[in-house]
Amino acid sequence: MLAFVLSNVTGLIRQMLVSREFGTQSVLDAYTAAATFPDLLFSLIAGGALASAFIPVLTDFITKDDRHNAWYLTSAITNLVVLALIIVSVLSMILADQIVQYILAPAMDPELQALTASLMRILLISPVVFGVSGILMGVLNANQVFIWSALAPTMYWLGMIFGVLALTPALGIYGLAWGAVLGAFMHLFIQIPATLKLPSRRYFPTLGLSFPEVREVGKLMGPRLIGVAVVQINFVVNTIIATALISGSLASIKYAWAIMTMPQVIIAQAIAIAALPTFSAQVSLGKLDEMRSSLAATLRGVVTLALPASLGLIILRQPIISMLFERGEFNTKSTDMVAWALLWYTVGLVGHSIVEIVSRAFYALHDTRTPVIIGTIAMSLNVLFSFAFAKLFSMLGWMPHGGLALANSAATTLEMVVLLIYMRRRLNGLNGKVLLTGVVKVILASIFMSVVLFIWLELTTARSVWFVGLGGVLLGGIVFLMGALLLRIREAVAAWREIKMRFRLKFL
């Protein structure tokens, strides 16, 4: 989690520099659209679908101390992924103009379409690099080594920061694209030394098509791939809709999405990445009771952090965005557009966080079909919601890009509810009484925090956004912690005891 905090801070600095350089100009819309397709390729071939199928199978070998087959599986999957990504990336470079014109940004004017295609050809270098990096990340996580893979996103952001500071003065928006490619290589390189230190390391020049576990990964990956494809189609649909709205809409929802996902990554992804190998090991050893307890405790912890973060971000969104980005080409209009999208995205923060955890619990059970079917239905609704809510917002006189954000939150919340129902059936319960008691207390503490933050905004209307934003974040955290301790929320009490114990050991 600390590594993800560092990654988010670095990513935030990158976003601040990009906003200062480009604001919500149309060239940034072109870059955002160009980055959508390489992200789609990586996600389909080597992203979350592969990790969710690869880690449980690899963990089986590691749990049984079968290192030879573990490395054989790793080599085969790596070779297959690299081969597939090279072929698809090269074909996409050749067809970049047609992809942009007919799929990604049909509503863009021809000049911007040409720029988008040029940027996309550069960015298509990254998926191959990320493919190898993603597999190393899975290998390290399966071996209970998390720090280096958690630091990898920081390296990616540093590459983009270099692109903004050193390359964009001469190359313009192309400098940002080349910085992204540099960041992809840095994302890979930081994980190589830790991988080389793993025991009995070997590489096999094989595709392993006859190896049963390679076919098992493919079998598990198939349903998950459909789910990832649907999610990525949603991003493409949002890109298409946003490029047809007022200028800056696409950049605004991307800024807002990046801000909303900061607490999600720190809270949910960090915990989920660490939990998947543990869940997988418990399933491999047949200890489903232990897994049920681990999952319930994990969900309580995630809600305890995600709910106050969601409410705090909704209340403080305007001063936070102004504080972080309002400079250079990023003006007050940009702040209003991003804040509007952030409001509706953040409504779904708790849902996103819980989906991260519960989905991985299904993967640990070697069940990729259930979360994929549920996710596919939810994301299909997201597409319908996106068109409907964007039109509804326009009819109400609201900025329509906010409807795209609300569509995502609504679909994700439905996905969360159905996943929890099915997981409860699968494990014969989820320690519901313990979960419900904790959630009710978290809601009460979060309401207390929200009231205090609304009063804070009223009292500080004439102060600088830095004072309002930073002060509000600090005040909100303190007030929630006080409320959590008064209500005896288990996670808060345990954390407070740990802090006091470490303080005494260090200073007394």
Q: Report the pLDDT value the prediction gives residue 54, as an integer from 0 to 100.
A: 78
Contact 201, 54 (CB under 8 A): no
pLDDT-derived band at 351 (thresholds 50, 70, 90) equals: very high
Contact 199, 67 (CB under 8 A): yes
* pTM score of the predicted model: 0.70
* Terminal alpha carbon distance of the chain: 28
Counting the structural domains of the chain, the total is 1
Position 318 in a domain: no
Q: Which 3 state secondary structure label does DSSP give 107?
A: coil
Position 383 in a domain: no
- DSSP string for residues in 159-198: HHHHIIIIIHHHHTHHHHHHHHHHHHHHHHHTTHHHHHTS
Residue from 245, 249, 187, 255 nearest 18 by CA: 255
28 vs 480, higher pLDDT: 480
Q: Report the pLDDT value the prediction gives residue 277, as an integer from 0 to 100.
A: 77
Taking the alpha carbons of 58, 62, 64, 69 in that order, is the dihedral positive or negative? positive
Position 337 in a domain: no
Residue from 180, 182, 185, 187 nearest 152 by CA: 187
Count of Cβ atoms closer than 10 Å to residue 211 Cβ:
17
Contact 161, 13 (CB under 8 A): yes
Position 109 in a domain: yes
Q: Report the pLDDT value the prediction gives residue 366, as an integer from 0 to 100.
A: 79
Which amino acid is present at 81? V
For residue 284, pLDDT beyond 80: no
Q: Report the pLDDT value the prediction gives residue 15, as an integer from 0 to 100.
A: 80
pLDDT-derived band at 297 (thresholds 50, 70, 90) equals: confident
Quick: pLDDT tens for 165-200. 999 888 988 999 999 999 999 999 999 999 899 888
Span 436-459, average pLDDT: 92
Quick: pLDDT tens for 225-258. 676 667 667 777 777 777 777 777 777 888 888 8
pLDDT-derived band at 407 (thresholds 50, 70, 90) equals: very high
CA distance 480 to 450: 9
Q: Report the pLDDT value the prediction gives residue 224, as an integer from 0 to 100.
A: 63
Position 482 in a domain: no
Quick: pLDDT tens for 462-497. 888 889 999 999 999 999 989 988 888 887 788 777
pLDDT-derived band at 43 (thresholds 50, 70, 90) equals: low
Span 24-43, average pLDDT: 78
For residue 406, pLDDT beyond 90: yes
CA distance 391 to 399: 10
CA distance 166 to 93: 26
- Burial tier of 210 (Cβ tally within 10 Å: 0-12, 13-18, 19+): exposed
Position 223 in a domain: yes
* Average pLDDT over all residues of the chain: 85
Q: Report the pLDDT value the prediction gives residue 50, as an integer from 0 to 100.
A: 64
For residue 49, pLDDT beyond 60: no
Domain around 154? 26-237
Rg, the chain, Cα only:
23
In this structure, of 213-222, 359-368, 439-448, the range with the lowest mean pLDDT score is 213-222
Quick: pLDDT tens for 83-138. 988 998 999 999 998 988 887 777 778 888 899 999 999 999 988 898 888 888 88
Report the share of the chain in percent with pLDDT over 90: 26
- Burial tier of 103 (Cβ tally within 10 Å: 0-12, 13-18, 19+): middle
Residue 23 corresponds to which tokens in the numbers above? 């604001």
Q: Report the pLDDT value the prediction gives residue 259, as an integer from 0 to 100.
A: 87
For residue 72, pLDDT beyond 80: yes
pLDDT-derived band at 148 (thresholds 50, 70, 90) equals: confident
Position 508 in a domain: no
For the chain, give the number of residues. 508
> Which residues contact residue 62 at a Cβ distance below 8 angstroms, ignoring those fewer than 6 apart?
70, 142, 143
Q: Report the pLDDT value the prediction gives residue 343, as an integer from 0 to 100.
A: 94
Phi, psi of 391 (to 5 degrees): -70, -40
For residue 62, pLDDT beyond 60: yes
For residue 507, pLDDT beyond 70: no
Contact 381, 414 (CB under 8 A): yes
Position 198 in a domain: yes
For residue 365, pLDDT beyond 90: no
Q: Which pairs count as long-range contacts for 171-175, CB under 8 Å and 24+ apart, including other chains?
A: 172/27, 173/22, 173/27, 173/28, 173/30, 173/31, 173/115, 173/119, 174/118, 174/119, 174/122
Contact 152, 133 (CB under 8 A): yes
Q: Report the pLDDT value the prediction gives residue 369, as an integer from 0 to 100.
A: 81
Residue 140 corresponds to which tokens in the numbers above? 């390290």
CA distance 36 to 31: 9
CA distance 37 to 92: 9
Contact 223, 368 (CB under 8 A): yes
CA distance 278 to 56: 10
Count of Cβ atoms closer than 10 Å to residue 485 Cβ:
14
H or E element that contains 204: none
CA 332 to chain CA centroid, nearest Å: 27
Q: Report the pLDDT value the prediction gives residue 131, as an integer from 0 to 100.
A: 86
Q: Report the pLDDT value the prediction gives residue 455, as an integer from 0 to 100.
A: 95
291 vs 238, higher pLDDT: 291
